[in-house]
Amino acid sequence: MESDVLAAVRRELLQNIDEKTRESAQRFFKEEVKFYGVKSALVKKIGTKYFREIKDRDKKEIFSLCENLLQANFNEEAFIAFEWSYSLHSQFVPEDFAVFERWVDLYVDNWAKCDTLCNHTIGSFVEMYPEFISNLAVWARAENRWLRRASAVTLILPARKGLFLKEVFGISDILLTDKDDMVQKGYGWLLKEASKKHSAEVFDYVMKWKAKMPRTALRYAIEKMPAEMRKKAMER
């Protein structure tokens, strides 16, 4: 049964539909995506407002509300679900990994859902429990393209801080010749973030593998490097 808080969330989303937003949203996705058409700043506001009503509930109950939102398959509801789960990050325990893995596998069906869940909720989780990074290597070999992208984008915020460089390269090794452009962009983005603190190491990695690396991944990886390095990396 739909809880009062979820009914209220959905009512507010319906009241704030903007046709222009709905029409333009689809342009960013190759796959068919379900949108109400609510501006993202407003979605965030609605999520924050109703989180205040549920924040003192048991984590398991909040995760259950998140799952209900995810089942509806609207991008806005998924965004709220992932904001709520991230808001609980101080309460994460190792057993939560199974929940997050299921969410990626069952409910993530586009890059926006993937990145919102992985950058914040799962990224925070692996910083707290680095022993789970080995599970990301399993995701990197999955059939599900979103699990493969998730293996890379989960490490983006830690990599930006200079963390887990060895693991960043390990995941990139597995994804190196992946044919899926969403996966290529995912690990290319990861290497780009890692290069902010480890420019020389990432450059060496790119130079070592550039003959095998798809151009999409390569371009993402070197985007923040000095012009001279970028030029060298792009040479055939």
**Structural tokens at position 172:** 């990139």
DSSP 90: G
Contacts of 149 (CB under 8 A, 6+ apart): 111, 114, 118, 180, 182, 183, 185, 186
pLDDT of residue 2: 61
Domain with CATH 1.25.10.90 in the chain: 1-91, 118-236
One-letter amino acid at 38 equals V
Residue 136, pLDDT score: 98
Q: How far apart are CA 210 and CA 161, in angstroms?
A: 25
User: CB–CB of 171/155 below 8 Å?
Assistant: yes
Six-digit token string for 112: 């926006």
- Is domain 118-236 classified as CATH 3.30.360.10? no
pLDDT per residue as tens, the chain (236 positions): 468 999 999 999 999 999 999 888 888 888 889 999 999 999 999 999 999 999 999 999 999 999 999 999 999 999 999 999 999 999 999 999 999 999 999 999 999 999 999 999 999 999 999 999 999 999 999 999 999 999 999 999 999 999 999 999 999 999 999 999 999 999 999 999 999 999 999 999 999 999 999 999 999 999 999 999 999 999 97
Q: How far is CA 35 from CA 79, 158, 184, in A?
A: 11, 30, 26
169, 15, 2, 150: which is closest to 71 by C-alpha? 2
Six-digit token pair at 14?
């319906």
Q: What is the DSSP string of 79-91?
A: HHHHHHHHHTGGG
* CATH architecture designation of domain 1-91: Alpha Horseshoe (1.25)
Q: What is the pLDDT of residue 73?
A: 96
Residue 26: the pLDDT is 83
